Structure 1
Amino acid sequence: MLVVGDARPARRVLAQYLAVGAEVFHLGGPLPERGRAGNAEHAGAAGRAGNAEHAGHAAQTPIVHVHTVQPPRSPTAWSDLVSAVELVVLVEATAQTDALITAACLRHRTWLTREPAAETSAMGSVTLVGGGPGSAGLLTVAAMDALRRADVVFYDRLGPSDLLEKWAPGAELVDVGKAPGHHARPQREIERMLVAAALRGDTVVRLKGGDPFVFGRGGEEVIACREAGVAVTVIPGVTSAIAVPAAAGIPVTHRGVSRLFTVISGHTPIGDRDLTHLIGLGGTIVVLMGISTLGQMLGGLSRLGMRADMPVAIIERGFADDQRTTICSLDRADEMMRTTGVRSPAVVVIGDVVTLAARGDEAADALLREAAQFALFE
């Protein structure tokens, strides 16, 4: 195939076709000597960056696997060039060049398409994208569009990542995942990497699980970008606090059962004062990132007056093929946790709405069917 357009505006097109194994010829401005794996300045050169030594530090090598061609000097030469390829992609071309290429493609019945140019500003941008609870079907249209335009994607383990090479073809994919008890990248380092990539002129996507602003530290990343003068936008995502209970047939609110829900982080132990307030509020309690402190929390709720038969549900690996839901009462929670060996990632729901999943309630059944459809959608 032949790509026509200067290297910087054409970088996404070059990267995308290289990513699928095409033999690419490029006609345009000179290819930069300074490149980065995954974009058109270094497409296909070093593969995926996934470790601290590579991520965020560009390899200083030219683009590879792209054959540079010079502009033909006559209509006949244009015809010969076009006849040698199966596809021509116009990213940027003068009216005269466009006409010559179009005529040559018609003559040789060569496929011709036009692609929009990538951004060419000196400074790039950062988009925080909420990836939802892990199911590809719950990515928003805006999220998919941002991924298609990305030069580099920083992702973690809780966001959908299995199909990233398809969603962001040719982009550099950098795993900055955090696991319980093990942070692959300190938060400040992630922020530095986002800013550094944008300052290089890259279009950056930070793909996060759930919603960036629901315990996702998205606010910190927005502040870091703004302080560095980098343009930053946020694309909301489906939060696991609502979606994962729904996947188990549990609505967080239900007429006549619960008119409010409270979402809390169980990352660190919750003190008696806050637990007392939660009991007083009533409604549904949803706990994220709380498996390691769940015993302390449930014990505290029981000790401070929550009724013993309050239903508790733990939904592990929401929307995965091996999703598991365990339901018990508050007074049997310790025994349940010991015998079932619940593990992170999991969402905990405490409240009477949990019983709806077990009763075959029509509203809960409808939610479960809808969630199942999303979980199966690819």
Structure 2
Amino acid sequence: MIEESCDVLIVGGGPGGSSCAWGLRDSGLDVLILDKATFPRDKICAGWITPAVAELLDIDLLSYDRDHILQPITHFRTGIIDGATVETEYSDIVSYGIRRCEFDDYLLKRCRARTRLGEALKSIERLDDAWIVNGCLHAKFVVGAGGHFCPVARWLNQESHSEKSVVLAQEAEFPLNQEQQELCRVKPDTPELYFCRDLKGYGWCFLKDGYLNVGLGREGEKQLSAVRDEFTHFLDRQGRVPREILGKFRGHAYRLYGLQKRKIIDDGMLLIGDAAGLAVPQSGEGIRPAVESGLIAADVIQNCQQQYSRDCLVTYQEKLINRFGKWPDAPAKSVVPAALRQFIGRQLMTSQWFTRKVLLDRWFLQRHLPPLIRN
């Protein structure tokens, strides 16, 4: 029995889903967000946004800072685990630390869409030119915005089982008392990034207004706990973060963009953010791609004028490729031995120029990307 209908059903209320809804706020379309969680909810994430994201979403940072954590970032400490480190200083604010439980709740409330929270997507079926979700929701269009484990993405990619482009991560975020803050040498304006010696992942520690976030992620790593323990021992030995103050680690996953083709559109349906596998390959950054893909999707949905055939939605796929790059026809194979690539990479990590211009500016901060032009 149909209980509720909408024009656009967005499955997932994170930054991608809420940005898509925000982009549709003046479209005249009835937008509904479905999420299995209730907000505010805990979200595992190192948690920072660049000024480009704040500008794109028209966030008043002074207003946001009054009621939420917003930690300015002007420095970075980077290096190899058990190796040399490099300190990089910027003359301006290049990013802001946020807590995802606050940031996601803020965006969701601001987008003005109707919500059904605390309700998971359990079933989806095509009926004529619409979708029936959970046997009771009727939607003309469905946006998959539920992250790496998005049920819409799984439905759309039932034939794909490869995990080659997936990063597994474990993180802990917790408040520090005064005594713990005195023991912790991580500076609030200076996130610390330490790469594994094989360069297949990196760990981080980030203090934002009394909340410490420590984590480590690796591509294709099945046994992550041992690597995480090596990292936390390193932080303890270096006097950066004493192991005894660390909170409980939790895991999550995301898919890197451009390493493997993924179906992201079909009749009356598309994927955004981590559901589409848009995380930046070199850093795993996912907030900006989620926000931008959500806004691109909103523009395409409006331009379709409620004619949601796959042919009309090809424009969305083309816009993503223009913005983030083309998917390869086959995984790239290097002729340079892995050991030599890793040796060269470790040498580059000690270079001030490479650290600033490539590692930070390009991979982590994406300062080379021009502002997103919407149409």
Query: TM-score if structure 1 supplies the norm length?
Result: 0.28
Structure with bigger strand share is 2
Query: TM-score if structure 2 supplies the norm length?
Result: 0.29
Of structures 1 and 2, the one scoring higher in RCO (CA 8 A, sep 6+) is: 2
